[in-house]
Amino acid sequence: MFARRGDRRVGLELIGSPHLPKVRDGDQAPDPWGHLVPITKGQRTLGEPGAPQALGRARRRARGQAGPPPAPRAWSGAGAGQNGWVRILIFGTGVIGSVYGERLLAAGHDVVLLARSSRLRDLRESGLVLQDAQTGHRTAISVTVVAAPEPGDQFDLVVAPVRRDQLPDTLPLLTALSGGPDVLFFGNALGRVSELASALGGRAVFGFPAVGGVRDGATIRYVLIRQQRTMLGEASGAATPRLRQLQSVLSAAGFPTRMSADVPGWLTAHAAFVVPIAYALYRDDTDAAQLSKDSVTVRQMVRATRQAFHALRASWQSADPWQPPSAVPGATGGLRRALLAPSVGKSAR
């Protein structure tokens, strides 16, 4: 949830991003005709849409790998492929799937995006277009996007950033995927953790992202939530080798992570924290700047958050109690500063 500035649009462009792969001597990139040509270490970006994927392929080719092998590599508990890269399907390309997908792609992984309807058309025509709402930094890259996985297409990991109400329709599609990949349910799956873990035969992993934003046409405008690390957890609460691998993959892509020993407890407490904020924003027409000046509503929001956590602490003892940023329940000043931080006009509903 953040504010939105004007509706300025620019054409497709590839701008130097700190998250794109660093260029090394001996790397290759596509020229305007799609041929791989040598590039030098001094080049900051590769200049053409599709360059990050081509760079990853060129590096794998140099290691003696022409591309992803047809069978899934031993990823769960044994290492993310021979050279540390993973084949990933992003099952949904809203704000969360787009931001995490771009950074995983930039980190050298083989990423395929699954999209439908207008989002599928936008990705095919314009590429993956992201804009950091706080810095204004903009990237646009071509990506591999599909409406559905090809029969027999196999992945090491599926990232499913779908809403809780979409899970019943999503589950049959995930269980039908070839090769039995691990599936990261990346959102609030509260009340369905055991069901999902059982349906996938232990292949389910759970998490919660640390990004928010809005979709504006073909552009995703986003903010990284610095105060919150990406949460990961097993239904059992165990810190498994698979979970540590996933933590390593996301951390290397630029997402600080933490493992939770109690996924349902974490998700419940997170809801208790964000629901008062959401209702406060609705009262001020989802305008964060306006809410920051509404001292009555801010105080009510803080009191509601405190009451929610008091109720949770009184009702059960979680193995991993989720703790909100210390400034939020304790003082309204910290909230005002957060609400007035650089952002992009009205908050996303």
Q: Six-digit token pair at 86? A: 């993973």
Which of 62-66, 258-262, 307-311 is predicted most confidently?
A: 258-262
Rg, the chain, Cα only: 21
Render pLDDT for 95-108 as a digit per residue (tens, 0 to 9).
Answer: 999 999 999 999 99
Instruction: Judge whether residue 163 has pLDDT over 60.
Output: yes
Separation of alpha carbons 86 and 81, rounded Å = 6
Mean pLDDT of the chain: 75
Res 49 pLDDT > 60 = no
Q: How many CB atoms lie within 10 A of CB 138?
A: 16
Taking the alpha carbons of 262, 183, 103, 348 in that order, is the dihedral positive or negative? Answer: negative
pLDDT for residue 346 is more than 60: no
User: What is the reported pLDDT for 316?
Assistant: 65
Nearest in space to 222 (alpha carbons), one of 260, 263, 254? 254
Consecutive H or E run containing 77:
none
pLDDT (mean) for 49-54: 41
Position with higher pLDDT, 106 vs 44: 106
pLDDT above 60 for 50: no
Give the three-class secondary structure for 215. strand
Question: Can you give the pLDDT at residue 323?
Answer: 52
Tell me the percentage of the chain whose pLDDT exceeds 70. 66
Domains annotated on the chain, with CATH:
28-261 (3.40.50.720), 266-339 (no CATH)
- Average pLDDT score over residue span 27-37: 38
Instruction: Please tell me whether residue 347 adopts helix, strand or coil conformation.
Output: coil
Task: State if pTM tops 0.75.
Answer: no
Token digits for 311? 């109720």
Neighbours of 86 (CB within 10 A): 25
Annotate 227-253 with DSSP letters as a single string.
TSPEEEE-TT----HHHHHHHHHHHHT
Closest CA to 115 of 155, 156, 143, 86: 143
Position 74 confidence tier, pLDDT thresholds 50, 70, 90: very low
The answer to whether 266 and 275 have CB atoms below 8 angstroms apart is: no
Q: Please, what is the angle between helix 95-106 and helix 241-252, to 10°?
A: 80
* pLDDT tens sequence across 284-299: 998 888 998 999 999 9
pLDDT at 32 over 90: no
- Region label for 180, one of left (φ > 0), alpha (ψ between -120 and 50) or beta (otherwise): left
The stretches of the chain forming alpha helices (DSSP H) are 51-62, 95-106, 117-126, 167-175, 193-199, 241-252, 263-283, 288-293, 295-315, 327-330, 332-339
CB neighbours of residue 279 within 10 Å: 13
Q: What pLDDT, on the 0 to 100 scale, is given for residue 332? A: 42
Write down the pLDDT at residue 84: 63
Tell me the mean pLDDT in the region 20-47: 39
pLDDT at 75: 53
pLDDT over threshold 80, residue 258: yes
Q: Residue 244: which of 113, 75, 130, 121 has the closest Cα?
A: 75
Instruction: Give pLDDT, residue 246.
Output: 95
Enumerate the β-bridge partners of residue 223: 212
Cα atoms found within 13 Å of the Cα of residue 314, Cβ hemisphere only:
6
Q: Please provide the DSSP assignment of 19-61 as one string.
A: TSPPP-TT-EEE-TTS-EEE--TT-SS--STTHHHHHHHHHHH
